[in-house]
């Protein structure tokens, strides 16, 4: 996977990691899964069948991530991370999968975090 975007943030800021897909019409979110993760093991945010499912979310991201729920059906899959920490510096994968068609879109976003 090639890198699609690099984002920069300072500790304590809020950053939006961009991820978009261009749907023909609206995305069927009730039949979709969206994973934001670091590597293969670290789950940053998970959205399935129209709602957030954060049981498996890595604890360090607890209460710091959100999606643009009102814009998702139009293809905005971006992730907002608040109160960015140095440990958030990583490559993030945005993986969108449609349950029925098994179509998968994946993009990779690098987040560079700087101290104040």
Instruction: Please classify residue 107 by burial: count the beta carbons closer than 10 Å to its beta carbon, then call 0-12 exposed, 13-18 middle and 19+ buried.
Output: buried
Q: pLDDT band at residue 113, thresholds of 50, 70 and 90?
A: very high
25 C-beta neighbours (distance < 10 Å), count:
7
What domains does the chain contain, in order, with CATH numbers? 5-114 (2.60.40.10)
What is the token pair recorded at 98? Answer: 């449609």
Q: Which residue has the higher pLDDT, 24 or 106?
A: 106
Instruction: Check residue 1 and give its pLDDT.
Output: 53
Mean pLDDT along residues 110-115? 96
Instruction: Check residue 24 and give its pLDDT.
Output: 78
Q: pLDDT band at residue 108, thresholds of 50, 70 and 90?
A: very high
The CA angle 9-84-109, to the nearest 5 degrees, is 60
Average pLDDT value for the chain:
94
Instruction: Check residue 25 and give its pLDDT.
Output: 83
Determine the Cα–Cα distance for residues 66 and 17; give it in Å rounded to an integer. Answer: 11
Instruction: Check residue 22 and give its pLDDT.
Output: 84
Determine the Cα–Cα distance for residues 21 and 14; give it in Å rounded to an integer. Answer: 22
**Which tens digit of pLDDT belongs to each residue from 18-73?**
999 987 788 999 999 999 999 988 999 999 999 999 999 999 999 999 999 999 99
């Amino acid at each position: 996977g090639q890198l699609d975007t690099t984002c920069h943030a300072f500790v304590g800021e809020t950053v939006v990691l961009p991820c978009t897909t261009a749907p023909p019409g609206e995305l069927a979110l009730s039949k979709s899964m969206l994973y934001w993760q670091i590597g293969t093991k670290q789950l940053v945010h998970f959205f399935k069948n129209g709602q957030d499912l954060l049981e498996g979310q890595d604890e360090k991201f607890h209460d710091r991530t959100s999606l643009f729920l009102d814009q998702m059906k139009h293809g905005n899959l971006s992730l907002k991370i608040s109160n960015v920490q140095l440990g958030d510096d990583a490559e993030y994968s945005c993986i969108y999968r449609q349950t029925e068609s098994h179509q998968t879109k994946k993009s990779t976003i690098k987040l560079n975090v700087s101290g104040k």
